[in-house]
Amino acid sequence: MELDFKQLGVAIKAIAEEKNLPEEVVQEAVEQALAAAYRRDYGDREQEIRVTMNLNTGEVDAYITKEVVERVGGDAYEISLIEAQLMKKDAKIGDMIEIHEKVETFGRVAAQTAKQVILQRLREAEREIVMAEYEDKIGTVINATISRVEGNIARVDLGKAQGIMPRSEQIQGERYYPGQRIKVYLKDVERGFRGPQLVVSRGNKEFIEWLFRGEVPEMESGAVEIKGIAREAGVRSKIAVASTVPGVDPVGTFVGGHGTRVNAVMSEVGEQEKIDIIVWKEDAKEYIAEALSPTKVSRVEIDASGQKAKVIVPEDQLSIAIGKSGQNVRLASKLTGYELDIEADRPQQQEAPAAAPEAAAPAQAPQNQQHSRTVEKVKPITPKLKKKSELENSLLEAIEEHGE
């Protein structure tokens, strides 16, 4: 197996086009491989050799670097002063000189070595280009296709690279299948043994922000902005928005006419995920009250440490404030950054007996005792059963009375 340089030149151009790699990158990889092959066939492993190739003609030239010495000890690394001066008149002892050699062909082993090195260098070059391309896209939403699902990990095809979406980055309850087209948020690009590893997400809060960015052009102009997001993917999200232009309704801008904008985002993340859009407030108490929407808040008391807050709500609003499995208060806490404690606002008249003087207590005691006694009196009668003989006697007595 000998290496046909002309065919190699054609193959290099084809590979560069197929892999979308710059031609000079592929050529550099091939020249490094040919240098390794030349060392194997004609030189020494430690020799400094540079190889150039003309992709159009297939001509290969090798340049061996040797040191000019007075007495040659090794032909592979050294050249005598007389020989050096024949190639370069002003050569002197200690100079490094390149000797040109024309390469016609390589042997079978060297050709195989060149092939392996070329493939390895091309893979490395491809990885570097992928890294450079996708590193600029970190923090953006890109289109992807599900290639396969392996347990809790979904593998996605991003065009020139493969990405992974772990369970923690998926939307709860969402199902994926090969060939499915989705939008994903590029979270990170990691260097792995098999090349760049792209980590994508649909479950993080940044994904929601980017979806709104695509639906709300006012965000680009700076008229409105998202101040904070708290999200439990697939269940519920709370978004705090604000306006920088007087007279612009931030919530209405994000919702859109007839809810078109927020509905477009919900259709991407799944209809099961509810999205609450609230107005961001600079005042912490007002912000906490807004964050607990749709709860009606009576008042907010912030702890002196500034990390906790007690929220007083009407008694009929307590369950709404807490939400299913504590979801509403949990998201409000994430959004505001405060640890929230929800308490019911008890009416004044219910609290009065507890705060009344001790003298008032005995007045109610007889009623309570009478009530408890009544309960005790009724309880034993209903479950007690009469004996058969007693029933018969009572029945006979009733008949006699009726007859009289």
CATH classification at residue 296: 3.30.300.20
Structural domain includes residue 300:
yes
Same domain, 126 and 171: no
Q: Are 340 and 329 in contact (CB under 8 A)?
A: yes
Structural domain includes residue 151:
yes
Structural domain includes residue 294:
yes
Handedness of CA 140, 217, 337, 231 (dihedral sign): negative
Same domain, 79 and 182: no
Q: Which residue has the tokens 């980055």?
A: 169
Count how many domains the chain has: 3
Q: How far is residue 203 from each of residues 82, 166, 176, 179, 206, measured CA to CA in Å?
A: 74, 10, 14, 20, 9
Backbone angles phi, psi at 95, to 5 degrees: -70, 155
Q: Which residue has the tokens 């219910």?
A: 350
Structural domain includes residue 104:
yes
CATH number of residue 153's parent domain: 2.40.50.140
Angle, CA 230 vertex, CA 224 and CA 233 arms, to 5°? 115
The per-residue pLDDT for 312 is 95
Q: Give the span between the Cα atoms of 309 and 285, in whole angstroms.
A: 9
The per-residue pLDDT for 203 is 95
Q: What is the pTM of this model?
A: 0.64
Same domain, 117 and 193: no
Structural domain includes residue 267:
no
**Domain final position from 109, 132, 155:** 132
Same domain, 127 and 169: no
Structure tokens at 190: 């990691």
Same domain, 90 and 25: yes
**Domain final position from 153, 170, 201:** 201
The per-residue pLDDT for 54 is 83
Same domain, 82 and 174: no
Same domain, 128 and 18: yes
Same domain, 152 and 96: no
The per-residue pLDDT for 369 is 36
Same domain, 66 and 19: yes
The per-residue pLDDT for 37 is 82
Same domain, 13 and 125: yes
Q: Are 55 and 86 in contact (CB under 8 A)?
A: no
Q: What is the pLDDT along the chain (404 residues), one digit of tens a residue?
A: 456 777 777 877 887 787 777 888 888 888 888 888 888 787 777 788 888 888 778 788 888 888 888 888 777 778 888 888 888 888 888 888 888 888 877 777 777 777 777 777 777 777 878 788 888 899 999 999 999 999 899 999 988 788 999 999 999 989 999 999 999 999 988 776 666 779 999 999 999 999 999 999 999 999 999 999 999 999 999 999 999 999 999 999 999 999 999 999 999 998 889 999 999 999 999 999 999 999 999 999 998 787 899 999 999 999 999 999 999 999 999 999 999 999 998 765 444 444 444 433 333 433 433 333 323 333 333 444 455 566 666 666 666 665 54
Domain that holds residue 313: 281-359
Same domain, 44 and 111: yes
By DSSP bridging, strand 49-53 and strand 60-69 are: antiparallel
How many residues are present in the chain?
404
Q: Give the span between the Cα atoms of 240 and 83, in whole angstroms.
A: 80
